[in-house]
Amino acid sequence: MATLCRPAVAVPEYVITLEDTLDLARRLHPEHPQLPLALRLIENTGVRTRHLVQPIEETLAHPGFEERNRRYEAEAKRRVPPVVRQALEHARLTPREIDLIVYVSCTGFMMPSLTAWLINSMGFRPDTRQLPIAQLGCAAGGAAINRAHDFCTAYPNANALIVACEFCSLCYQPTDLGVGNLLSNGLFGDAVAATAVRGSGGTGIRLERNASHLVPGTEDWIAYSVRETGFHFLLDKRVPGTMEPLAPVLAALAERHGWDVADLDFYLVHAGGPRILDDLCTHLGVAPEVFRFSRATLTEYGNIASAVVLDALARLFDEGSATDRATGLIAGFGPGITAEVALGRWTVPVTPHSFANTLIRSVN
């Protein structure tokens, strides 16, 4: 069975606080007729700090799409390798033991994908399969886990590497002044995350089932408008209410697996905003505390797009509360409106020493 191992997560060194964000909004848009509403919405996100790949003065300047994308490529090549090395170390794997690289990012474009550069520069085998995913937005973290699970199910002894690289600040558009855009300017942050999925062995979440679901008629609710100046983020005001149709999807998947979605041991959910998590609590019938990992990611890093679920997973590892065979759910939500959902159990490999101890306890 495929095991999702401990992730590595890194955020850039430039930090912007909630107070900085509010001050910038007041300074840049003093005459905006809906500024009070935008400020209130930003405050209500729960985001306290975010990390950026460049100083805020450079982030606010727009040198053009070409220069923005050049910066994306340079930052990805600088920041991804150390995260990948740490993730492989966590999983006790070498680059040559990886059979598939899933690279997810929606904040820049490269062709060939960064996967080709990683294979050439980090010692992965030339026959390593590549799966870049660029257009699932925040749902791509969940999709990457699911596609790695599928691959390791088809090839039981194979290993996969997942890399999420999101530099949301490089998509800032100074001319986009809708309330939704102003809110996004105070919500999204930058991060790189990576994790391995082992076909056998490893400590982490043993993936047992996955599913995808698209809410019909919502493909224009979260979107990019691609223009000369780059990616312009479009966010429909109906997006925060999407958990009402999606919560039953999560519940039904758990039920088909013989589980009660309201009675699992851990939940790793994409934190698009506080209302997403609050609504899930209501519709799934769970306590707010179960989403503590996702809330912590949102508070400390903001919405880091596809990297959210991997950061939430890292926090589960850090807490150390998961016991062997604990049940859990992973869910990413994004454009479509798309949900990528997985179910799994916490697993710790049986070593000869631990097996002997188990036998002794059972005899006694």
Does the CA dihedral 294-295-296-297 come out positive or negative?
positive
Which segments of 41-158 are extended strands (E)? Answer: 49-52, 100-104, 129-133
User: Both tokens of residue 126?
Assistant: 């030339």
Q: Which of 5, 138, 165, 168 is catalytic?
A: 138
Which strand (E) or helix (H) includes residue 195?
A: strand 190-198
Sign of CA dihedral 144, 145, 146, 148: positive
Closest C-alpha to 199, from 121, 100, 105: 100
| Cα gap 330→357, rounded to integer Å | 32
Residue 102 — φ and ψ, nearest 5°?
-105, 115
C-beta neighbour count of 244 within 10 angstroms: 12
Of 122, 157, 164, 117, which Cα lies nearest the Cα of 139?
164
Provide long-range contacts, Cβ within 8 A and 24+ apart, for 231-236. 231/107, 231/171, 232/173, 232/176, 233/171, 233/173, 233/176, 233/181, 233/184, 234/180, 235/180, 235/181, 235/183, 235/184, 236/180
Residue 240 to residues 44, 108, 221, 273, 355, Cα–Cα distance (Å): 13, 25, 10, 8, 48
Question: How many CB atoms are located within 10 Å of the residue 70 CB?
Answer: 13
CA-CA distance, 10 to 165, in Å (whole number)? 10
For residues 150 and 4, the answer to whether their CB atoms sit within 8 Å is: no
User: What's the rounded Cα separation, in Å, for the pair 158 and 141?
Assistant: 20
171 annotated active-site:
no
* Residues annotated as catalytic (active site), given as ranges: 138
